[in-house]
Amino acid sequence: GSVRRTWFGLKMDSAAVDIDGSIMEGGGQILRVSAALSCITGSSIKITKIRAGRSSPGLRPQHLSGLQLVSDLCSGNLQGAAIGSSDISLTPGKIRGNRGSVCLLLQVALPCSVFADASSQLTLKGGTNAEMAPQIDYTVKVFKPIVEKFGVHFDCDIRMRGYYPKGGGEVVVTVNPVKELLPVLMTERGTITKIYGRAFVAGVLPFKLAKDMSAAAVRTIRKEIKELYINIQPLQEKEKARGNGNGIIIIAESSTGCVFAGSALGKKGVYADKTGIEAAEMLLRNIRHNGCVDEFLQDQLIIFMALAKGRSRIRTGAVTLHTQTAIHIAEQLTQAKFTITKCEDEQSSNITFIIECEGSGVTNPNL
């Protein structure tokens, strides 16, 4: 049989952990979560059937740069990594503080950098406000304050915004390592106290688009939330922007420190009003369910819950497939145990869920 040895509190097989890349959500998220956890726990992984159900299966360029980034962060040995590849294996080494230029989202780099031996400075290049990915504003305004509750501290310096489809943005992220992560309790929503945001245009697009997006968003939110002042600033991005683009992000904060967002990017041939309404409706949808995190933050917190020392509990709306997938992978690669409990509220007919995790309590061997 395979030899088991313990490596700072984690069971570790000398054989690689096999991960089926086609299960559940079956996309790039499986790669991100498993590569980051492999790097942190020191377990080798072998991922097969990568994105098997997708229209263009296998690794796409952004997945490849993410895997290479993790491999570099942990001086690992990455095999099979090529565009279109459906099987890869990663054997991690020691996580070192890095000063590299990388091109993928923070989602992979951050958990690894937290367990490095020194602080890291990562230069992320690509779209800052692009389709199918969180806008950089979301990362700074929503993701950052909540992961800080786990004890993760990082700074984000937006040097250049890059708009879809051109990209060309640049963000410098500085991450400080920690000894261990703290568990987080977020079970009470409280009341919504603040709603604010930015509606932007960049490049050759007229400023009127920003004003139209902002006005339409405010009107939509007003129908449901009457008592709050809503401040969505229209902005013309001049200096620090590449490409032509327009978009909007709206943020709501609650009395207990919960943060939610709704966002949308303008597309050719779509009225600015419609973009504003889309973002407003997304925000309202995330306010209605009465959970403490929005649908996008939900799955991004799983890895931190799994690594923390102690029991985390987070109240959410409907549990997304992305979240279920992240839990599945986290349980395969760490000793964390998750439970999901459904809660029905008599008064409001609201159904929320509590995601509870007994974390694996990984400690940073370098500190």
135 appears as a binding residue in the annotation: no
Q: Quick one: what percent of the chain has pLDDT higher than 70?
A: 94
Identify whether residues 276 and 336 lie together within a single domain: no
300 appears as a binding residue in the annotation: yes
Q: What local confidence, expressed as pLDDT, does residue 215 receive?
A: 98
Q: What local confidence, expressed as pLDDT, does residue 80 receive?
A: 95
**Cα angle 19, 321, 140; round to 5:** 95
Is residue 124 over pLDDT 90? no
Q: What is the mean pLDDT of residues 132-150?
A: 90
Q: What is the mean pLDDT of residues 124-146?
A: 85
Identify whether residues 224 and 201 lie together within a single domain: yes
In a domain, 19, yes or no: yes
Identify whether residues 234 and 280 lie together within a single domain: yes
What is the distance between the alpha carbons of residues 278 and 263, in angstroms, rounded to a whole number? 7
pLDDT (tens digit per residue) in 147-190: 999 999 999 999 998 887 777 889 999 999 999 999 999 999 99
Least trusted range by pLDDT, from 66-75, 163-172, 293-302, 312-321: 163-172
Domain boundary among 287, 309, 344: 287
Identify whether residues 353 and 310 lie together within a single domain: yes
Who has greater pLDDT, 305 or 241? 305
297 appears as a binding residue in the annotation: yes
Identify whether residues 240 and 300 lie together within a single domain: no
107 appears as a binding residue in the annotation: yes
What is the distance between the alpha carbons of residues 199 and 224, in angstroms, rounded to a whole number? 20
What's the domain range around 236?
192-287
* Mean pLDDT over each residue of the chain, to the nearest integer: 90
Who has greater pLDDT, 3 or 65? 65
In a domain, 172, yes or no: no
332 appears as a binding residue in the annotation: no
Q: What is the mean pLDDT of residues 60-80?
A: 90
Is residue 313 over pLDDT 60? yes
In a domain, 150, yes or no: no
**Which of 306, 294, 296 lies closest to 36, judged by CA?**
306
8 appears as a binding residue in the annotation: no
Identify whether residues 34 and 61 lie together within a single domain: yes
Lookup result for tokens 């401040």: 231
Residue 195: what are its φ and ψ, rounded to 5°?
-135, 125
Q: What is the mean pLDDT of residues 44-63?
A: 92
Burial class for 210, CB neighbours closer than 10 Å (0-12, 13-18, 19+): buried
In a domain, 143, yes or no: no
pLDDT (tens digit per residue) in 274-295: 999 999 999 999 999 999 999 9
Strand order in the sheet with 192-202: 230-237, 192-202, 245-254, 259-265
pLDDT (tens digit per residue) in 201-234: 988 899 999 999 999 999 999 999 999 999 999 9
In order of 161, 210, 233, the CA distances from 264 in angstroms are: 16, 12, 15
Please, which pLDDT band fits residue 130 given cuts at 50, 70 and 90?
confident
Q: What local confidence, expressed as pLDDT, does residue 2 receive?
A: 37
Please, which pLDDT band fits residue 350 given cuts at 50, 70 and 90?
confident
Q: What local confidence, expressed as pLDDT, does residue 232 receive?
A: 97
| CA 107 and chain centroid, separation | 5
What is the distance between the alpha carbons of residues 275 and 282, in angstroms, rounded to a whole number? 11
How many domains is the chain partitioned into structurally?
3
Identify whether residues 309 and 260 lie together within a single domain: no
Q: What amino acid occupies position 127?
A: G
Q: What local confidence, expressed as pLDDT, does residue 14 receive?
A: 59
Q: What local confidence, expressed as pLDDT, does residue 178 receive?
A: 96
Domain boundary among 73, 92, 111: 92
Identify whether residues 263 and 294 lie together within a single domain: no
pTM confidence score: 0.90
Catalytic positions are 322
In a domain, 220, yes or no: yes
Lookup result for tokens 């890059």: 162
Q: What local confidence, expressed as pLDDT, does residue 86 receive?
A: 95
What's the CATH number where 313 sits?
3.30.110
Lookup result for tokens 């069971």: 11
Please, which pLDDT band fits residue 100 given cuts at 50, 70 and 90?
low
